[in-house]
Each structure stands twice: as structure tokens, then as C-alpha cells.
A = this chain, B = another copy of it.
Amino acid sequence: MRADAQRNRDRIVEVARALFRVKGFEAVSMDEVAKAAEVGPGTLYRHFPTKESLYDAVLEAWAEKVNAAVSQALTLDAPARERLLSWLTDYASMLTEHKGAAARITAALGDPGSPFAAKCQTYLGANQRVIEALDSALRPGVDAMQISRLVGGVAVVVDSSELPSDAAASMLAVVADGLIAS
């Protein structure tokens, strides 16, 4: 890749990140991103063939953050419920960091063709670590996909209604209590 192309690509991602974070994916047009990045529309689409692939690039590398959150939750000296809740809270928090991301990523669960497939896999792997660590403390039949769907559902609602964190916390508490074996 030429130096000018790399510069343009980086600039596009940086500009799009700022716009998407504040206004959300839907409310920002590709033309708006192109103008703000001072590139032509053709340039923007050459680097990112669809709006969705731009969004994937904008959302930062997740693997490190996800693994750090899981490790932190699992090293807590606390009952299984508290460790699970710590992970679910971080998970939902990451999903709601950018307006609209929760719905997109959650809808991509189970779809290998989605630009977000790698991110979904990261989450499923993290859930699997939690399941293995908490083992018989969890209700029978819990799997990684189910956790992602439950947390994703909560995050979508929190995001679309712009709920405060105490509302999110009480919803996640219900989910955690449902997942813990009775």
C-alpha cells in the first residue's frame, strides 16, 4: 500500500470514529465521512467497500479488551454470581460504547458472512471461558451463544433508549440471577 493511501485510510477511520461515536452509524452518511476526511467518495469506497466494513474498522480491536475483562471477572475473590455479573457488565458496556453497535453486533451472532463475525467469535470464546470457570454454579444448559444473546438484547435496549447505567445494571442483575443455578 502506498503511503498516501495508508494516510487516507487512517484519516477516514479516525474521522468516522468520531462521527459514529457521537451521532450513531445511521445518522452519518458516507458523504459526510468523505467530506470530513477530505477525500472523494470513490476513495472512501475503495478503502471500505460498504458502510458496514467501515464500521467494523472503526470499532477498535476487541480481543484484548474482551480477554482483559474476562480475566478480571474470573480473578475476583467473590461468589460465582458476582464474577458472572462483572463479566456481563463489561460485555454490555463494550457493546454500548458506540451508538448502534449493540444491535449490529448482536444481530451478527451466528452469521459467518458478517463483517462482525470475528467480534462475535471473540465474545463467544470469552463466554466459554466464563462457563468453564463457573461450571456447576450455572444453570444446566447454558451455552456461550445464549449468554451473548441475553446480554446483547439488554445492550440493544440500553443503547436504543439511551438508558442510564443503573437501569442497565438492574437488568443485568436479573439476567445473572437467571443464569446462576437455583
Residues of A within 8 A of B (CB): 103, 106-107, 109-111, 139, 141, 146, 149-150, 152-157, 160-161, 163, 167, 170-171, 173-179, 182
Contact = CB atoms under 8 A, between A and B. Distances in A.
A178 B174 contact: yes
Contacts of A111: 161
| Copies of this chain, whole number | 2
- Please classify the interface of chain A as helix (H, G, I), strand (E, B), loop, or mixed, using the class held by over half of its residues: helix
A68 to B, nearest CB: 26
A176 B111 CA distance: 28
Contacts of A170: 141, 146
Contacts of A157: 106-107, 109, 149-150, 152-153, 156
